[in-house]
Amino acid sequence: MPLSDCLTLARQVQLHERTAREVADEALDKAAGLNDEWRAFITITPELARRQAEQVDKRLAAGERLPLAGVPFGVKDLFDVVGVPTTAGSRMFAERKPGADATVVQRLTAAGAVPIGKLNLHECAFGFTGENEAYGNCKNPWDPERIAGGSSSGSAVAVVLGICPFTIGSDTGGSIRHPAALCGLTGLKPTYGRVSRAGGIPLSWTMDHVGPMARTAAEAAAVLQVIAGRDEADETSSERPVPDYAQALRSPLRGLKLGVPQNWFLDAVDPDVGAAVEKAIDELVRLGATRVKVTLPHMEEVVGAHRAVLFAEASAYYQPFLKVEERDNPKGRRFADDIRPLLEAGLFLPAVDYINAQRLRKQVRAAWGEVFSKIDCLATPTSPIVATRFGQQTAKLKDQDKPLVRAFLDMTLPFNYSGHPALSMPCGQSSAKLPIGLQLVGRPFDEGTILRAAHQYQLATDWHSRRPTRHAS
């Protein structure tokens, strides 16, 4: 049986109806029992979890109020937890033991949450399937023959399996939203600068984002409340005050201007996805939103610019590790054979491409700023297709075979490049009973609006509460 949602659990622990230690033991049992089959975790941390849970119980006994009291969580194994290896899903970092917690982990534990382990991911967060040669393939609980999505694959699977109510992921091209969509969860990529990335292994410094994954927008909002805000350890983090997201959730949608794109996002989508997204937009309109047709310019150029930034920054970070491997082990087995070329490719891209991508970024922000001045948020599919089978390379869309990297990420990566906040929430199922995601994109630093729209939608529908048959109870 899945653990309760994070808000209920926190209330129960705060009111001493259950102890944090009992909740942690239950989560640890589940994690241990399910991990061989699903590979959600790279490392499970029972001693750390029990120690933290006992601390939480003591703090509560001393009269503290903790917003996430005793709520177990997992963190993508890209973020540091003191004394536990941060592998980034790679053999290269298997021995890397950090001396301090990542800021996001510090803030969650300070709020009473209990870390139960480090979650599996696509190696180096550089991929979208969740396949991992070193630590095992993360399977989709809705169909174990299919990918969970990535790169935050374990972050999605641990929540779907009911091991913990929320997890932390990272998103550089869609790595929170994509697995959230494929696994039927709510996943939030906040605005660039809203959540500190300190203590995380980077992939692309100017496009990496950190955010929560959970069943509901209300839970994602509660986690964001704790992790958002300025951090001196991350110079990119914003000094803007953090609003009260729980308060923001309560407002009805009357008057909300909902942008519906007329280009790019609905050009080629699976019919099941197109129908579910259209129905979700209708539901948001029924709840009070006003549909506004919009066109986002520069989309194809943005895909290329995202590639230029991603590959250049990834190679800049990984070049020293590639050199170490070249020196110690020229045959290169610490990075997987399908990852090493990705890390090397940026070494051969012209510097002018990188600079021009940053120049285009300015034009894109200005042009999209015009669009967002007419709307409160934008609604799109998160992905034009549902979860694919392991090994599948292309998807047929509009009678054309499209490479999966284009199919899966073309709708999410533009908002890593622009920095806009975006979330994915479940909005339907395909004829094969696989989850479909709706992406909501907001104005910079206006996470409250997209969380509100998602929350109001989830009050009126039940897609977020559906579970795979094997794990339903």
Partner 1 sequence: MLQSTPDAVEQPIKAETLAAMSGQLLGGEPRDAKDFAAVAMLLTGLEQDMSAFHRVELGETEPAVVYSPTPAPRVPRAE
CA separation for the pair 373, 12 (Å, rounded): 42
Asked if residue 151 has a cis previous peptide bond (ω within 30° of 0), the answer is yes
CA separation for the pair 347, 330 (Å, rounded): 17
303 part of the interface to partner 1, by CB under 8 A? yes
Kindly give the pairing relationship between strand 72-76 and strand 114-119: parallel
Smallest gap from Cβ 383 to partner 1, in A, equals 16
Alpha-carbon distances, residue 335 vs 126, 132, 149 (angstroms): 11, 11, 20
Exposed / middle / buried, residue 36 (Cβ in 10 Å: 0-12, 13-18, 19+): exposed
Residues 327 to 346: which contact partner 1 by CB under 8 A?
327, 330, 337-338, 340-342, 344-345
Q: According to CB under 8 A, which one of 92, 104, 116, 322 is a site residue for partner 1?
A: 322
Kindly give the pairing relationship between strand 290-294 and strand 209-214: unpaired
Comparison of 218 and 310: residue with beta carbon closer to partner 1: 310
Sign of CA dihedral 418, 244, 438, 186: positive
Smallest gap from Cβ 344 to partner 1, in A, equals 5
Comparison of 113 and 339: residue with beta carbon closer to partner 1: 339
CA separation for the pair 58, 248 (Å, rounded): 32
**Binding-residue pattern over the window 394 to 433 for partner 1, x denoting contact by CB under 8 A:** ---------x-xx-----------xxx-------------
214 part of the interface to partner 1, by CB under 8 A? no
Alpha-helical (H) ranges within 198-270 are 217-227, 245-250
Total binding residues toward partner 1, as defined by CB under 8 A: 55
Q: According to CB under 8 A, which one of 329, 358, 392, 465 is a site residue for partner 1?
A: 358
β-sheet with 377-381: strand ranges across = 41-44, 114-119, 72-76, 166-171, 209-214, 186-189, 422-429, 435-442, 377-381, 257-261, 290-294
264 part of the interface to partner 1, by CB under 8 A? no
11 part of the interface to partner 1, by CB under 8 A? no
Half-sphere exposure (CA, 13 Å, Cβ side) for 112?
A: 28
Q: According to CB under 8 A, which one of 197, 361, 452, 455 is a site residue for partner 1?
A: 361
Cross-strand bridge partners of residue 168: 75, 212
Residues marked as catalytic: 76, 151, 175
Burial 332-348 (b: 16+ CB within 10 A, else e): eebbbeebbebbbebee
**Binding-residue pattern over the window 89 to 128 for partner 1, x denoting contact by CB under 8 A:** -------------------------------------xx-
133 part of the interface to partner 1, by CB under 8 A? no
Smallest gap from Cβ 299 to partner 1, in A, equals 9
Comparison of 99 and 341: residue with beta carbon closer to partner 1: 341
For 70, the enclosing helix (H) or strand (E) is: none
CA separation for the pair 354, 49 (Å, rounded): 43
Comparison of 232 and 235: residue with beta carbon closer to partner 1: 235
CA separation for the pair 136, 439 (Å, rounded): 29
Half-sphere exposure (CA, 13 Å, Cβ side) for 254?
A: 3
Kindly give the pairing relationship between strand 290-294 and strand 257-261: parallel
Comparison of 193 and 428: residue with beta carbon closer to partner 1: 193
Stretch that binds partner 1, among 27-35, 108-116, 270-278, 296-304 (CB under 8 A): 296-304
Smallest gap from Cβ 137 to partner 1, in A, equals 16
Smallest gap from Cβ 158 to partner 1, in A, equals 25
Comparison of 148 and 185: residue with beta carbon closer to partner 1: 148
Q: Which of 82, 102, 176, 178 is nearest to 447 (CA)?
A: 176
235 part of the interface to partner 1, by CB under 8 A? yes
Q: Which of 50, 129, 117 is nearest to 87 (CA)?
A: 117
Comparison of 63 and 320: residue with beta carbon closer to partner 1: 320
Smallest gap from Cβ 88 to partner 1, in A, equals 16
Comparison of 45 and 191: residue with beta carbon closer to partner 1: 191
191 part of the interface to partner 1, by CB under 8 A? yes
Q: According to CB under 8 A, which one of 265, 335, 445, 457 is a site residue for partner 1?
A: 445
Is-contact 1 29, C-beta < 8 A?
A: no
**Binding-residue pattern over the window 362 to 401 for partner 1, x denoting contact by CB under 8 A:** xx-xx--x--------------------------------
Q: According to CB under 8 A, which one of 7, 78, 305, 454 is a site residue for partner 1?
A: 305
Q: Which residues bind partner 1 (CB under 8 A)?
A: 126-127, 191-193, 206, 235-236, 298, 300-305, 307-308, 311, 319, 322-323, 326-327, 330, 337-338, 340-342, 344-345, 347-349, 353, 355-363, 365-366, 369, 403, 405-406, 418-420, 444-445
